[in-house]
Structure 1
């Protein structure tokens, strides 16, 4: 069963993950006494759900808050406000022991496969560490399970005693994926898992992730700068700008009928592999505003070609404009652009 079909079949069920009005601010210190001078609004009032067995893609420029968002979901960064519900349970209200047990079901694959693996540990130790920490098995059982995981991700059992420096980037990312699978999680958060890899290897890792999703019924949140990559792996796509979620829609609708001006600009930059076909490129004016002092009203109005007075005065809410399609834009909601 494909991820798309599986996700569709889960429509009547409660979401696996629900994020409500999540914000994560980082203090900025200054002066002789290092007092707080302000806050960087890395994530600001983000809400969405993730259904079982689907892949939610997140796209946006560097600095828009994508990585901070998934680190906040895992509570690797402490959210400033908002709720994170996993299978209906409020993660922030849990005691340490409860949260530790819940973490078995939430794992992450980091962007850089070189920095994500401890060079002092063997591959067997790295993949087996989650099993050891959670007391899953004795040493002999862990070794057997780790070798099975190596085969699942396309590596040889004989790699068990090798060290990370003996592997290529693609192989290291396979090790990271095997480690994330060790506890059989329900949700894996992928923080640009192929951006550091050669193009020829990227497709192998993406196909591996899709096959593992089908085999184990996994759910993904997938971050990437590469819009074609997100289109290939995702069921729904969320677009972030300056800490805000500005559009959320099923992948087909978002790529064929983008509603937010920022989404249109992003999609216009996708290369077309046909020299006879041209696309009008939408070039945004100006730089990304400072997240320490975001603009009033719509945060995109300083770069938006359709901005009006209401955009500068009032912040648009993320509003459903079609089944499953939400956009945060005053004029797009009214169908004016």
Structure 2
């Protein structure tokens, strides 16, 4: 099943059912008005939506209209929880190597995580508005899952049962602000502005055998200013799968329905696949040449993040955003 949230002038948008090929859509107010309402009562409402989804794909719904990604908000325009991990530890290792820092062995067994702002996500086609290029503007191409209610202390073996939807992420980062914030010993805040998510969220079964072991086994394709930047495979070199991340996050607290859990920047040891953020390219340049040659994003730069099935059909739609100067 594929779902989206159309911009209807309200904070949480209008829940939309989207066809498998992303060509048709229909509102489902008789079942749920918003994505959060759906997630809150998933076990009750999902079977009803599944029946409509099959009818939509069979062309049996007379009220279906053409799907328009530009009308989409992030699937959850705001959420009760947005927690991002760093599941690709080779990425962390690379960043530390570039500054000649040893990586603690615990990083391979204990996931890194930060709690992001979730009160205001950016729409997948909306501009990324920032006040200064000097902040070191970077994109981070990732995968995320949406859960139902997850109890505290859930086991790795049971965590996957709580994954209801999958989507893509652009976890915008301001690299030049990060060192100063981390030096305070209290984590990210100003250096992590609003994130954005793909136009469409999909149930795991939509990925078929490409969803295994709580991982997406497909490349995540990023273009920067229309040039291919990277297509690392999300199922390769993922040290912590989503079940492990969810289990880790719930060690001391439950997760409420609609919690979003991110994978962190997709990264493969095989560097021929490219990268999913500018920081990684700059680190590779620093290791090879002693200093980075690639700049961070400037106003006017555009990033596009997308994932395709084996027939090169877009699965989630595209995050396609331009960085622009924010003026109050």
The TM tier, using the shorter chain, reads: under 0.3
Q: TM-score normalized by structure 2?
A: 0.27
TM-score by length of 1: 0.26
Question: Which structure's residues are more often helix, by fraction?
Answer: 1
If you compute each CA radius of gyration, which structure gives the higher value, 1 or 2? 1
With CA pairs under 8 Å and 6+ residues apart, which has the higher RCO, 1 or 2?
Answer: 2
